Amino acid sequence: MAGMASRDTAHRGPAAHPLGLSLTEWAVLGILSMQPAHGFAVARELERGSALGQVWNIQRPLVYRALNRLEEQGLVRPHASEPGAGGPQRTVYRIERGGGRALHRWLHTPVQHLRDVRTELLLKLVLGDRLGTDQRQLVVDQQAVFAPHFAALDLPAPGPVDPVARWRHESSQGVARFLDGLLSQREGSS
């Protein structure tokens, strides 16, 4: 997972969201939506081994870069300062109303590619759980987005199969089972 953050910059653009935020920026925004926090506290939430860090772990300098970018876009703002533990003052950030609306939309928007399930969709699910949002509709919408992909990745008639085709088929079947399981689990808990 250490390489996750280095790929983060490639995760921008229209497919990610109209704001063009990276997964790191979405993760930071999601953490700030739970409560105001300073960069060091946000970085702790994204350390390897934490609930969010199991999905998307990043180093502290990237958290501060994400905070700066989110502030530039008006999605978060400095809220207060507090003494650092043996260091300089820490700036506490809070999410702005527009940041909350953008996060809500992002959390409820299915991913477009099967390859994004391991990162973006899992991040949405973990953040959504922490925020207490009902994500059944996201899972249903995600199944609808992927239905054509699942059908297109069926294996041909018996016989030799290209290893790449087999991998793509098996991966898509795993995602289909994952989504089915999530939906039945969430429907059972309501």
CATH 1.10.10.10 fits 1-133, yes or no: yes
Query: pTM (2 decimals)?
Result: 0.83
C-alpha span between 108 and 78 (Å, rounded) = 27
User: Domains of the chain: which residue ranges?
Assistant: 1-133, 134-190
Q: pLDDT by residue (tens digit) across 147-176?
A: 998 888 776 666 677 888 888 888 999 999
pLDDT for 168? 86
DSSP sequence for 21-43: --HHHHHHHHHHHHS-EEHHHHH
46: confidence class by pLDDT, cuts 50, 70, 90 = very high
Please provide residue 3's backbone torsions phi and psi, each rounded to the nearest 5 degrees: -80, -5
Q: Please state the rounded mean pLDDT for residues 8-34.
A: 73
- Given pLDDT bands bounded at 50, 70 and 90, which one contains residue 86? confident
Q: What is the pLDDT of residue 56?
A: 94
